Amino acid sequence: MVRPANSSDVDALYELASHTDGGLLNLPHDRDALKARLGWSEASFARQLEAPENELYFLVLENEDTGAIGGCACVFSRIGVPWPFYSYKIATHTHVSRELSHSFAARLLHIVNDFDGAAEVGGLFLHPDHRSGGLGALLARSRYLFIAQHRERFPEKIIADLRGYVGPDGSPFWNAIGRIFFGRDFREADHYNALHGNQFIADLMPRYPIYVDLLPKAARECIGRAHDQAIPARRILEAEGFSHDGYIDIFDGGPTLSAQIANLRTLRESREAVVTDTLSPDENGGAALVTSGALKSFRVWRDILVDDGGEARLLTARRAGVGAAIRYVA
């Protein structure tokens, strides 16, 4: 089951973070940073509003039998506040010499704020013991079901920053650009960003376009390349309707995917119904992700159901309760 995280989850999330290699901005292996995120999330779930401001909705995957936390995922309602959200945009500029009868198409990296005001999904991480059985899809799609249930809390556009390639010596992309300007290695800068935000980027990053061909080969090969562990997440995002339009992360060069929220598969295909009864085990129902409740009461689980014109019978109707309003998606 997926539910909103709360402050009592800090120890479980700290343990979960120990299974990352320190490269997940939204799941830092830092107890104080996790406490701050959980506090931010709890305040966001409690806030009454009619438009997105600067909310973080932190969700966790919980084993209902044991209470163990097997994963987490985040939704940010509006990025670019209180500090800008920076990306590199890849552009092509063609140089032509008529005298030499030669042309050259140069790729350039421009630092931009094109995604300020968009929502963002991130922080998707599963414990190594839970990376099978469709739990990744359950956790990932629960974010879009949350958006569908609380549409007024989100803007029109949404992005996902995929983790870029990191090798034994850190990020080749960061080593070629960021390290020169900031004087810190990748993990130190990434950790600082997780704790203190990215104002330091605005202070120190280069203002002029960077010619890709002047970068070392190892850095060039990282541009738009997702970390091996992020490839399954990329497939899930692309199946949902996200695409890569030439934006990359300024830290590790990983791809930034984007979509219009209205075009997301989960929002387009989800249906609303009212629970009327329990589905008999011998009935042929369809597998679905089901959600009920709002804000702090929001829950998502896998179920079998039959929908008769908006009246639904669920195999585990007790989860929502007869008479409860649900949303589901196959």
Q: Could you tell me if 297 and 149 are in contact, meaning their C-beta atoms sit under 8 angstroms apart?
A: no
CA dist 190 and 154 (Å) reads 27
pLDDT value at residue 168: 84
Catalytic residue among 130, 191, 227, 244: 227
Q: How far is CA 12 from CA 34, 61, 138, 141, 206, in A?
A: 10, 11, 19, 22, 39
Report, at the CATH architecture level, how domain 271-329 is classified. Answer: Beta Barrel (2.40)
Q: Cis peptide leading into 28, omega within 30 of 0?
A: no
Kind of pairing between the strands at 311-314 and 299-308? antiparallel
pLDDT at site 195: 67
User: What is the SS3 assignment for the chain?
Assistant: CEEECCHHHHHHHHHHHCCCCCCCCCCCCCHHHHHHHHHHHHHHHHCCCCCCCCCEEEEEEECCCCCCEEEEEEEECCCCCCCCCCEEEEEEEEEEECCCCEEEEEEEEEEECCCCCCEEEEEEEECHHHCCCCHHHHHHHHHHHHHHHCHHHCCCEEEEECCECCECCECHHHHHCHHHHHCCCHHHHHHHHHHHCCHHHHHHCCCCCEEHHHCCHHHHCCCCCECHHHHHHHHHHHHHCCEEEEEECCCCCCEEEEEEHHHCHHHHHCEEEEEEEECCCCCCCEEEEEEECCHHHCEEEEEEEEEECCEEEECCHHHCCCCCEEEEEC
pLDDT of residue 22: 67
- Type of residue at 305: L
2-87+113-265 carries CATH number 3.40.50.620: no
Selection from 301, 290, 298 nearest residue 327 by Cα: 290
pLDDT (0 to 100) of residue 147: 98
Domain-by-domain residue ranges, the chain? 2-87+113-265, 271-329
123: alpha, beta or left? (left if phi > 0; alpha if psi -120 to 50):
left
Instruction: Give the pLDDT of the chain (330 residues) as one tens digit per residue.
Output: 999 999 999 999 999 999 987 667 889 888 999 999 999 999 999 999 888 999 999 999 999 889 999 999 999 999 998 888 999 999 999 988 888 888 989 999 999 999 999 999 999 999 998 888 889 999 999 999 999 999 999 999 999 999 999 888 889 999 999 899 888 888 787 777 766 666 777 788 888 999 999 999 999 999 999 998 889 889 999 999 999 999 999 989 999 999 999 999 999 999 999 999 999 888 889 999 999 999 999 999 999 999 999 999 999 888 889 999 999 999
The reply to whether 227 belongs to the active site is yes
Other beta carbons within 10 angstroms of residue 19's beta carbon come to: 14
Taking the model in full, what pTM does it have? 0.92
CA-based max dimension of the chain: 80
Amino acid 327: pLDDT: 98
